[in-house]
């Protein structure tokens, strides 16, 4: 689940934050983390996504040429889904504030308008994924299969092969047989 989001300037000013109503945040932990990000920035030339695990949380961030976007999620949340969300948020924020970000002096309150982007989402934003076959949580790569227009996710190819979705009639037969 997306617990908290920060959008920062490259020199560490907080442009925008958003918290999921259900989440709890250890502000001390985050303070230290945001400080540490600056060390990363010095070493980061690409806009590659990085993440850090802290107790039961995962902080994932993308350093862009103008902004840094940080997501706090559960440490078992799926990396691919987090990456997608991180890229989408970075792209949306940059297209919405393109002109403002070019200016030398930036009034932070202008970025509150980014709330309108989140009106498209239903909270909490779920980022955990479990295998339709073995039910294990999938943290990294997954494969998918479509059945009756519904998409199923699997942790590996053998789970995908093993999975035989029962349709309603088969299901009822099964219940009748076991009664
Ligand atoms: Zn599986």
Q: pLDDT per residue over 99-124, tens digit each?
A: 999 998 889 999 999 999 988 888 88
CA of 166 to the centre of ligand 1 (A): 17
The DSSP secondary-structure symbol of 109 reads G
Look up the CATH architecture of domain 4-118: 2-Layer Sandwich (3.30)
Neighbours of ion ligand 1 (CB under 5 A): 131, 133-134, 155, 159
pLDDT at 77 over 60: yes
The DSSP secondary-structure symbol of 76 reads T
CA of 85 to the centre of ligand 1 (A): 24
CA of 42 to the centre of ligand 1 (A): 39
CA of 121 to the centre of ligand 1 (A): 28
Q: Check: CB of residue 63 under 8 Å from CB of residue 40.
A: yes
Q: What is the mean pLDDT of residues 165-172?
A: 56
More confident residue, 150 or 52: 150
CA of 134 to the centre of ligand 1 (A): 4
CA of 176 to the centre of ligand 1 (A): 28
Give the residue from 67, 80, 85, 84 showing the smallest Cα distance to 7. Answer: 67
Q: Give pLDDT, residue 168.
A: 47
| Cross-strand bridge partners of residue 137 | 130
Q: Check: CB of residue 60 under 8 Å from CB of residue 27.
A: no
pLDDT tens, residue by residue, 49-75: 778 777 788 889 888 888 989 999 999
Residue 62: CB atoms within 10 Å? 20
Whole-number Å distance between alpha carbons of 121 and 52? 25
Please report, for the chain, the start and end positions of each structural domain, with discontinuous segments joined by +: 4-118, 143-178
The helix/strand/coil state of 22 is coil
| Count of positions (residues) in the chain | 179
CA of 41 to the centre of ligand 1 (A): 37
The pTM for the full model equals: 0.82
Residue 1: CB atoms within 10 Å? 15
CA of 135 to the centre of ligand 1 (A): 6
The DSSP secondary-structure symbol of 47 reads -
CA of 153 to the centre of ligand 1 (A): 9
CA of 39 to the centre of ligand 1 (A): 38
CA of 158 to the centre of ligand 1 (A): 8
Whole-number Å distance between alpha carbons of 166 and 152? 13
Give the residue from 135, 126, 175 showing the smallest Cα distance to 155. Answer: 135
Q: Check: CB of residue 29 under 8 Å from CB of residue 58.
A: no
More confident residue, 52 or 48: 52
CA of 10 to the centre of ligand 1 (A): 40
More confident residue, 159 or 20: 159
Q: What is the mean pLDDT of residues 148-154?
A: 92
Give how far Cα 13 sits from Cα of 35, 38, 83, Å.
Answer: 11, 11, 23
């Amino acid at each position: 689940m997306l617990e908290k989001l920060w959008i920062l300037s490259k020199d560490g000013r907080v442009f925008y934050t958003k918290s999921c109503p259900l989440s709890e945040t250890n502000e001390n932990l985050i303070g230290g983390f945001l400080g540490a990000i600056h060390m990363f920035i010095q070493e980061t030339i690409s806009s590659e996504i990085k993440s850090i695990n802290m107790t039961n949380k995962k902080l994932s961030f993308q350093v862009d040429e103008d902004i840094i976007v940080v997501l706090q999620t559960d440490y078992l949340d799926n990396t691919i889904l987090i990456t997608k969300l991180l890229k989408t948020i970075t792209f949306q924020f940059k297209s919405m504030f393109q002109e403002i970000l070019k200016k030398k002096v930036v009034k932070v309150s202008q970025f509150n308008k980014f709330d309108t982007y989140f009106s498209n989402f239903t909270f909490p934003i779920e980022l955990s994924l479990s295998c339709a076959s073995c039910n294990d949580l999938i943290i990294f790569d997954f494969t998918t299969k479509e059945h009756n227009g519904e998409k199923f996710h699997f942790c590996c190819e053998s789970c995908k092969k093993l999975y035989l979705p029962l349709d309603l009639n088969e299901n009822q037969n099964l219940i009748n047989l076991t009664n």
